[in-house]
C-alpha cells in the first residue's frame, strides 16, 4: 500500500506540474503574439500615413542623401536629381556669321568730270568723287572697283582682311584681281580722312578722301618721285696738310 500511495502521489504532483506549466506558457505566448500584432498594425498605420502625406503634397520634404542636391519645394523629380551646377543658365548660342555681301562689285570712286585736274603740293593730281555711304559699308568679301585714269582702266580688288590699329583707325586689305602676285589694295580710314593705296606692277596710286564731303584726289606716286628735286647736301672737307715726321730727329 505504501508503494501504491507513493506512486499515486508522484503521479498527481506530476500532473499538477504539467497543468501549471501549460497554464504558465499559454499567457506568455498570447502576450507575445498580441505585441507582434500591435507592432505590425502600428507599422502599417505609419506607412499608410506616410503614403497619404506624400500623395497630398506634404510640405515636409524628405531629408536629402549625402551629396545629393536638395531641390526647392514643388520641384519635379527630374529637378531633384540634378546637381547644383546643372541649374546654371545656358548661354545663348553664338549667332552665325552674316551672309556674305553681294558679289556685285561696288565702284569706290568716280572721276570728277567737271574739274578733273588738280594739284597737291605742286604735284599733278586728279579730282575724284566718293559716296560717303560707300566708305561706311566696306566689309570683308566685298569687291571694289578702282578707276585709274593714267592706266585708262578700272581695277578691281576683293577685301580679304580687316583690323584696327591705333585705336579707331580701320584697315582693309585685298589683292588686285587679275594682277601680279604683289598687286594689292590697302584702305586706311581715320576720323577725318581715308587713304587708299593701290599698288600694281605698273605703278602705285594714292587716293586721299575727305570722310565728311567725299571729295578726293588721286596722285600717281611716279609723279611724286619725278617732282623731287635732287640735290647734294654733302660738304667738301678741306684737305689737311700733314707734315711727315723727320726721320733724322733724335
CATH of residue 155's domain is 2.40.128
Distance CA(70)–CA(239), nearest Å, equals 100
> Running DSSP on this structure, what letter comes out for residue 250?
-
pLDDT per residue over 140-197, tens digit each?
999 999 999 989 999 999 999 999 988 889 999 999 999 899 999 999 999 999 999 9
Give a yes or no: residue 117 inside a domain: yes
Beta strands in 40-95 (DSSP E): none
Burial class (CB in 10 A: 0-12, 13-18, 19+), 97: exposed
- Structural domain span for residue 136: 106-227
One domain, residues 17 and 126? no
Q: Worst-scoring range by mean pLDDT, 58-67, 69-78, 139-148, 174-183?
A: 58-67
Give a yes or no: residue 213 inside a domain: yes
Grid coordinates of 132: 560717303
Give a yes or no: residue 52 inside a domain: no
Give a yes or no: residue 178 inside a domain: yes
One domain, residues 125 and 27? no
One domain, residues 26 and 126? no
One domain, residues 119 and 221? yes
Grid coordinates of 46: 505609419
pLDDT at 18 over 70: no
Report yes or no: 155 and 145 within 8 Å, Cβ to Cβ: yes
One domain, residues 221 and 110? yes
**CA neighbours within 13 Å on the CB side: how many for 127?**
10
The total of structural domains in the chain comes to 2
Model pTM score: 0.52
Give a yes or no: residue 201 inside a domain: yes
One domain, residues 121 and 17? no
Q: What is the mean pLDDT of residues 91-119?
A: 72
Give a yes or no: residue 196 inside a domain: yes
pLDDT per residue over 195-204, tens digit each?
999 999 999 9
Inter-CA distances, 170 with 128, 139, 173, 201, 247, Å: 21, 11, 10, 26, 74
- Give me the chain's average pLDDT, please: 74
Q: What is the mean pLDDT of residues 88-97?
A: 52
Residue closest to 208 by CA, chosen among 142, 130, 150: 130
One domain, residues 116 and 218? yes
Grade residue 114 by pLDDT with cuts at 50, 70 and 90: confident
pLDDT value for 237: 80
Grid coordinates of 211: 570722310
One domain, residues 128 and 221? yes
Give a yes or no: residue 100 inside a domain: no
Give a yes or no: residue 71 inside a domain: no
Report yes or no: 104 and 145 within 8 Å, Cβ to Cβ: no
Inter-CA distances, 43 with 49, 54, 62, Å: 10, 17, 18
Inter-CA distances, 209 with 128, 131, 212, Å: 9, 10, 9
Q: What is the mean pLDDT of residues 236-249?
A: 76
pLDDT value for 157: 96
pLDDT value for 6: 61
Residues with Cβ within 8 Å of 124's Cβ and at least 6 positions away in sequence, in order, are: 117, 118, 219, 220, 223
Q: Which residues pair with 158 in a beta bridge?
A: 143
Residue closest to 149 by CA, chosen among 47, 236, 222, 218: 218
Grid coordinates of 147: 578707276
Report yes or no: 210 and 127 within 8 Å, Cβ to Cβ: no
pLDDT at 245 over 80: no
Amino acid at each position: 500500500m505504501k508503494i501504491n500511495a507513493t506512486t499515486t502521489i508522484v503521479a498527481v504532483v506530476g500532473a499538477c506540474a504539467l497543468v501549471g506549466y501549460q497554464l504558465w506558457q499559454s499567457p506568455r505566448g498570447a502576450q507575445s503574439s498580441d505585441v507582434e500584432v500591435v507592432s505590425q498594425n502600428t507599422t502599417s498605420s505609419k506607412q499608410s500615413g506616410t503614403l497619404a502625406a506624400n500623395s497630398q503634397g506634404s510640405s515636409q520634404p524628405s531629408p536629402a542623401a549625402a551629396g545629393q542636391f536638395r531641390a526647392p519645394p514643388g520641384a519635379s523629380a527630374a529637378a531633384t536629381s540634378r546637381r547644383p551646377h546643372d541649374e546654371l543658365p545656358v548661354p545663348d548660342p553664338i549667332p552665325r556669321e552674316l551672309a556674305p555681301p553681294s558679289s556685285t562689285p561696288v565702284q569706290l570712286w568716280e572721276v570728277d568730270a567737271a574739274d578733273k585736274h588738280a594739284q597737291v603740293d605742286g604735284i599733278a593730281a586728279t579730282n575724284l568723287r566718293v559716296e560717303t555711304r560707300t566708305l561706311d559699308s566696306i566689309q570683308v568679301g566685298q569687291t571694289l572697283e578702282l578707276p585709274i585714269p593714267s592706266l585708262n582702266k578700272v581695277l578691281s580688288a576683293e577685301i580679304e582682311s580687316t583690323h584696327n590699329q591705333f585705336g579707331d583707325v580701320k584697315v582693309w586689305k585685298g589683292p588686285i584681281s587679275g594682277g601680279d602676285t604683289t598687286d594689292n589694295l590697302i584702305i586706311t580710314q581715320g576720323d577725318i580722312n581715308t587713304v587708299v593705296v593701290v599698288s600694281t606692277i605698273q605703278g602705285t596710286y594714292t587716293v586721299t578722301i575727305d570722310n565728311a564731303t567725299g571729295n578726293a584726289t588721286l596722285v600717281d606716286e611716279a609723279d611724286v618721285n619725278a617732282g623731287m628735286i635732287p640735290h647734294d647736301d654733302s660738304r667738301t672737307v678741306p684737305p689737311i696738310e700733314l707734315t711727315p715726321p723727320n726721320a733724322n730727329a733724335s
